[in-house]
Chains A and B, each alone.
Chain A
């Protein structure tokens, strides 16, 4: 078994008398966390959240007859249960389907039909993993929740604030999805993989004798089988007995010239080039989606760049408030290197981001997360304006 190279911050925070609930998804990362923590002598309880019933939409048009998605699949619950048995910890599945539907699935559907491109993982972290699950953990006597996220939590001894920091393995950095965590949530969260690379995690899993050490990573949105979100939207709305909103409209240029028509704004995302249904001499991109007029604005690539954005429903982590403009790096999608920018508070929970250099495809519905080097300052949701 490999040893950790250095004493980690999360280890300093742990004591032998602590009881820790591990959020187990049935994947390598969270399974390894459970094994690692158990090996420290801490009392560990495995919890898996049942969030979505894949059978609900199976067999509807565009959806497979059999259960196809990853989220809460019986295979994953089986894997998590086997890991818990292997390392010898109590294990429970807790049902949060109702909250998941209300706080993640519904908003996901509504964002798409309003012409935005949502990120359900952040909503799930904010409303389920670090809210509901942390609540259950506390109720069953656990002091903290540990997850397999690649991120770090530290307390700033000067300010007393809990800091969220980028992990050692930059390729696996998940801080972008964690910007919504409150101080209280962070104070009760452990991310034991923050100092490790994925390769080290797999090696550790092998060392602990976990059968799933080579299990592939999951990439897609867990409740949308095969990433076919349009089929999911249609099947979900049909199941709910709701009509798929008619959002067909015009394809226009920035100056308002109508180039053609489209079948619905949910088919588009900012920066998209393929499938526009019009051809001109030069390549066209989706520049903007106007949910109210149902217009999809297209234009040449240079029109995709914007120098500023407004982030709403901002959560600040490293600082209590933004009293004056601050120099940061801003990440506008998961696979994006933080771009130098100045952030400034313009209203309660609202921040204006001015980039040093214009950024490509700023997409409403995604998050803008502010970084000061390693440290996550905070973040918010990119608004449509």
Chain B
């Protein structure tokens, strides 16, 4: 079995340099960052170095970075930390479940929600944000890059609208961090979430940028950690790892590493679409992060294709998994107006730093072969082939 991993939007491997930086903090460098003694002080220093590195990645001040247990907690903190009963929040239909389900929970608690639609390319129209504003609007929460399609939202225009309307703006940048340059001032956001394990740091650590002066209430109560914005002893090795990964991501973006990733992605997309007809890329008409492509193969069950590919050694994914591990129809592709059959026929390839030309070649050979096999077994495809032989030739 081959072993090619093209599911980096799900999680990424921890880079060796990151692991190396973390390692001492599990051993001789142990300490509680809140302690008075020298062990505590050294641990505190490591946490603050991590904070500075994350701040540099985002163009923020270190004091504006709050470490969390991950992207989900960062999203929850931003949303629950600002919303009050009676407020109005604007979000979108294509958000990650960390945002979507937080918003749905708030609806149960007396908060009004507007979920904006997207166009066929998966983009939100900033004018829709403007039109949805009310006197009671407290927060706009729109993601930066979509996890399924990689489509980048016009966050700078949305940020401008929010500033003019004096409304807080949160963006979930979990899938954008490390892939495109991020400057919180240019985005104009008040809150921005990132996750460690999407940028080659470990799972279980993330951060929320909180612009100075944002009246954020905590959602966890306890000690006065993180300037009383997030109680709980810091995940020191995780924070050190996130800091190191942020530093490496900065370096990589500086060397135009994303162009390399983009070239690999385009190569994969072209190679597959050249060999397979009745197929295409969802969201290709919009700007996308360079590592992601979401391809549909009509007359194919994406779920079966993902399993068949896994059994041949290629890890990719489709939609979001529900609690049992089964695939749910993608709310993102459905919101883009894809008919249900095409949404089910779509799978996501997401590349990472470790991927090579050989990985792309492996996928470009395997995917068309399995798509063909699945179509041969599809009664619907056989019917279409009989009716329109020229179209399916």
Contact = CB atoms under 8 A, between A and B. Distances in A.
Interface stretch (B98-106, B141-149, B162-170, B321-329): B321-329
B226 interface: no
Contacts of B326: 50, 93-95, 97
Contacts of A90: 310-311
A140 interface: yes
A198 to B, nearest CB: 27
B206 to A, nearest CB: 26
A366 to B, nearest CB: 30
B307 A140 contact: yes
A331 to B, nearest CB: 32
A368 interface: no
B392 interface: no
B324 A45 contact: no
Contact of B327 (A53, A95, A138, A140): A95
B328 A95 contact: yes
Contacts of B323: 74
A107 interface: no
A73 to B, nearest CB: 9
Interface in A20-48: 45, 48
B303 interface: yes
Interface string A226-252: 000000000000000000000000000
B311 A141 contact: yes
Contact of A95 (B303, B305, B311, B374): B303
B324 A77 contact: yes
Contacts of B305: 139
A298 B328 CA distance: 47
A370 B191 CA distance: 69
B373 interface: yes
B325 A81 contact: yes
A48 B303 CA distance: 13
A10 interface: no
Main SS at interface, chain A: mixed
A136 B344 CA distance: 14
Contacts of A81: 325
B301 A136 contact: yes
B220 interface: no
Nearest to A137: B304
Interface in A136-188: 136, 138-141
Given A50-B322, A50-B326, A139-B373, A94 B311 contact: no
B308 A135 contact: no
Interface string A83-95: 0000000101111
A72 interface: yes
A72 B322 CA distance: 12
A95 B324 CA distance: 9
B70 to A, nearest CB: 22
B304 A136 contact: yes
Nearest to B310: A90
Nearest to A95: B326
B324 A139 contact: no
Interface in B319-341: 322-328
Contacts of B310: 90, 92
A229 B323 CA distance: 26
Nearest to A48: B324
Interface string A111-147: 0000000000000000000000001101111000000
30 contacts: A50-B326, A53-B322, A72-B324, A74-B323, A74-B324, A77-B324, A77-B325, A90-B310, A90-B311, A92-B310, A94-B303, A94-B304, A94-B326, A94-B327, A95-B326, A95-B327, A95-B328, A97-B326, A136-B301, A136-B303, A136-B304, A136-B307, A138-B377, A139-B301, A139-B304, A139-B305, A139-B308, A139-B374, A140-B307, A141-B311
Given A93-B326, A139-B308, 4 more contacts: A50-B322, A90-B311, A138-B377, A139-B374
Interface of A: 45, 48, 50, 53, 72, 74, 77, 81, 90, 92-95, 97, 135-136, 138-141
Interface of B: 301, 303-305, 307-308, 310-311, 322-328, 373-374, 377
